[in-house]
Structure 1
């Protein structure tokens, strides 16, 4: 995290985040751990104070510079509170000095919410796992010397991995390609106040795996293919003239050795033409599988990673004052979103140390978006699909869960309180 005095450059994925945080897309994500008992807020506060010492760069505030935003150390302290407001509400307010994460709880759930400039889901999970382990240890007097979930040093967690692995390429070309397609856009009744509406569906991870295996594919491919079919189920003939484009974030730590807790991800797009659909899920699976193999090749991944470094290394962009950059990035972001139907992020199987594992029921995750983003994660046999959007109804997700039910899976549904009241 190139440190000079007490300020830090934003990593390359974070550079566009403040300029694109508006309306329902607060660029805040939530990670939740549901335990098997109600949460003790006092204990949670104590262990948060301890855990943040290992991740001090999360305790920064965001400022606007002449050319770029930057982070600065702060002595602010996060205060744990019982959850009383809607999820994923804004964390960044221009001109205001405040932390970019919050920790709250509700009944059996502990929530971490974070502004995307600090970290991606994987980086935030490094922090969150340590917090949960400490909480359970203190709550239940577990004296076991639990090995850290990650064994990276503070310096390794702190590094800007994009800078470490960047190789000079024409990355801006790929960024421009992202905005050249006009994809099918989801529609529905929007919340008058643009409040985030959450829905989560939990299924058996082993049954989902067996379903994927029966189609000779992976869990990741099955998730995206089933989602594309769910979108198709709600499209009329005219709408099927437009492609369904699903954006899939990729954890670059799986391809480049890095222990960074900051942003280090790329994005691949699965562009499906509804004209090719013959009514069978199998044909979508084959298409998605082929795309995954092509776009997750070492060459494609390096190109994706370099595209995120393009803004940092482009001389012409560097010298443009920040207010003008904000306008340009906002314009680009708006055009890019026209090329995406939705996003699906798979955080994979979450592992916890044996000494604390039995106290945990499940994990879930949510990421705000202008339209819709689905986040998937599994713990033991509970696989949770989390979706947050400004839509009052969840037509596509209900189609998705109906599809899983048809495959023989039982789906446990949950939503936020004000949805239930309506």
Structure 2
């Protein structure tokens, strides 16, 4: 029923590092979820999943290890929903384990989709989740309407857009070269004890404030995060920049319908001094966004990593050796970043479904600190996950926003 007739396929450029980098410190799993205005009916949800997965064959696969590269292989494993019992974003991939790379769970009134990042990115996951929720509500309430607006053909879903839009021609120069960034210090917790804090605020409030500052919501919150990260820095630590990594959805630049990973990233840095005001940080972040989000810079960064993948010498290095250097490079690269902020923007659903949905959310595993955000109607949601016991950065973000007049509602704090 589930395995379509297709051959194995290679991992996209962004996915190549995830199998090697996943481990006890970071599962490389993220969760997107939908909170409803009524309890979840498990049997209906299972039926909805069985309908939707037929339109997303990309998800029905397992990760296999080859001699030179990892690859995806079609799987006949039946996806089965489960009641949530464990910790969000728990490990999903381990070498030799024969399992799917996604899992649908539920609790009282929420539907969760957890994904190993090698399979897809946040855009692909939200597309799948939205169609799953629509299928569930159609079965439960007899809603008539479109079935899967987001699902393209199998070829479109599985397209490696990195390779398709790669260009060997270098048309730009790198604006900022990576350097060692400030790292938060303190006792770290295990993956199972990851700190998870979730909050909501009005979209209208955020828009009003950010527009008054003549910036986007993402620019505004990046500046808030940078400021919070700096509050515990010593004078010696201020010799290093605070750097926030921002994922960039490449579908905004290239006409891709791929459901595989298709994202890049930019690094927004700030060097703190004694008299920096929030306005100083905000102006700097606004300038850096305008520079980094130009198509020439986005393409430069994407082409750089695809060029490495396509290196003929690298093609024939055994996977075990590749993994060693991938882990080494991932570790070194992590030292160039202080935290991550991923804004998935607005999730939209057709009007017949709106009365049944309260909000959407997203949580990500991390090896340091990561803020994730999305919005639905007038609810702006953000989560902060961290492997540090110290939650002073999170508290500083909240206290600053509340001092600015935002009505913050806490959903979950561990």
TM-score clears 0.5: yes
SS of 1:386's equivalent? Answer: strand
Number of the residue aligned with 1:262:
260
Distance 1:192 1:122, change over 3 A: closer
* 1:150 is the counterpart of 2:150: yes
Does the aligned pair in 1 maintain the 2:7–2:73 contact within 8 Å?
yes
How far, CA to CA, are the matches of 2:370 and 2:94 in structure 1?
Answer: 23
How far, CA to CA, are the matches of 1:82 and 1:165 in structure 2?
Answer: 41
After superposition, the CA RMSD in angstroms is: 2.0
How far, CA to CA, are the matches of 1:123 and 1:156 in structure 2?
Answer: 12
Specify every segment of 5 or more residues in structure 1 that has no aligned partner in the other structure, as ranges.
none
| 1:45-77 deviation digits (Å, cap 9, x = unpaired) | 110111111111111000110111000000001
Picking from 344, 349, 354, the partner of 1:347 is: 344
SS of 1:49's equivalent? Answer: helix
Distance 1:60 1:192, change over 3 A: closer
Specify every segment of 5 or more residues in structure 2 that has no aligned partner in the other structure, as ranges.
none
SS of 2:188's equivalent? Answer: coil
Distance 1:51 1:84, change over 3 A: same
Distance 1:266 1:322, change over 3 A: same
Which stretch of structure 1 is more off in the superposition, 361-370 or 145-154?
Answer: 145-154
Number of the residue aligned with 1:201:
199
SS of 2:26's equivalent? Answer: coil
Number of the residue aligned with 2:112:
111
**CA displacement at 1:87 relative to structure 2:** 0.6
Number of the residue aligned with 2:163:
163
* 1:282 is the counterpart of 2:283: no
How far, CA to CA, are the matches of 2:100 and 2:151 in structure 1?
Answer: 26
* 1:57 is the counterpart of 2:55: no
SS of 2:289's equivalent? Answer: helix
Picking from 380, 390, 397, the partner of 1:383 is: 380
Number of the residue aligned with 1:137:
138
**CA displacement at 1:4 relative to structure 2:** 10
SS of 1:339's equivalent? Answer: coil
How far, CA to CA, are the matches of 2:352 and 2:83 in structure 1?
Answer: 27
**CA displacement at 1:415 relative to structure 2:** 2.7
How far, CA to CA, are the matches of 1:312 and 1:169 in structure 2?
Answer: 16
Does the aligned pair in 2 maintain the 1:12–1:311 contact within 8 Å?
no
Number of the residue aligned with 1:20:
21
SS of 2:368's equivalent? Answer: coil
| 1:286-317 deviation digits (Å, cap 9, x = unpaired) | 10111111111111011122123123211121
* 1:187 is the counterpart of 2:185: yes
| 1:349-398 deviation digits (Å, cap 9, x = unpaired) | 11111010121111111111110111110111111111222223422122
Does the aligned pair in 2 maintain the 1:266–1:308 contact within 8 Å?
no
Which stretch of structure 1 is more off in the superposition, 301-310 or 81-90?
Answer: 301-310
